[in-house]
Amino acid sequence: MCCVSQRETMEVKSEVSTFLEEEKMVRQEEEEEEDIVCLDEAFFINDNYHLTTYTFGSHVLQLFCLQSASTDFDLTGQLVWPGAMLLNDYLSKNAEMLQGCSMIELGSGVGITGMLCSRFCHQILLTDHNDEVLKILRRNIELNTSSENPSCCAALEAEKLEWGNSDHINSILHKYPGGFDLILGADI
C-alpha cells in the first residue's frame, strides 16, 4: 500500500490542472488559427476601368484608368495622379525638347505621360513594377498605337521594372544597349 500525503495529492492535482489548462489553450489557439482568413491580393484589385479623355494643349489622349484610388494594395498606378497632369501640361508646352528622343518612364502607371511623349519621341519604354498595373498599361498602349490612331508615332513598349532588381535592369539594358536620352517619372 502506498501512502501519499494530502499535500502531495494537492500538488499533483494542481499540476494536472495546469497541464489540462495549457492543453485547452493550445487547442483554442489552433482553432483560432484555422479561423484566420488570408486574402489574396486579387481581393483588393479593382479593374473597373473607364475610358477617359485627357487634353494637353492640342493633344487628346484616351486611356483606361480608375476614377478613384485604393491604397489597400499597391495599385496606385491604376489612375492618373495630379503630378502626371502637371508634367504632361509642361511637356505639351515644351514638346520641342522631346523631338527625336528615346525615353524611359519610371512608374508609368496607366501610361499617360508616355502616351503624350509618343507624339514627339522616337522610342519609349514605359515601366512599372506591378503586374496588374502592367496589364492596363499594355491595354492602353494597344489602344493608343492602333492603326486607327495615326497621331501616335513612337515605338511604345512596356516592361516590368522593380527598382533595384538587377534581373529587370539587366533585361532592359540588354534590349536597349544605347540607353535612353531622357528618364521621366511623375508621382514616383
User: What does the domain layout of the chain look like in residue ranges?
Assistant: 1-36, 42-184
Reported confidence tier of residue 165, pLDDT bands at 50, 70, 90: very high
Tens digit of each residue's pLDDT (9 = 90 or more) over 7-35: 766 776 777 678 778 888 878 777 766 66
Give the separation between CA 67 and CA 46, rounded to whole angstroms.
11
* Domain 42-184 fold: Rossmann fold (3.40.50)
Task: Output the DSSP codes for 8-59.
Answer: HHHHHHHHHHHHHHHHHHHHHHHHHHHH--PPPGGGG-----EEEEEEETTE
**What is the per-residue pLDDT across 108-120, written as a single tens digit (0 to 9) for each?**
999 999 999 999 9
> How many CA atoms does the CB half-sphere of 88 hold within 13 Å?
25
pTM of the model: 0.72
Q: What would the pLDDT profile of 147-163 be if each residue is shown by its tens digit?
A: 665 556 688 999 999 99
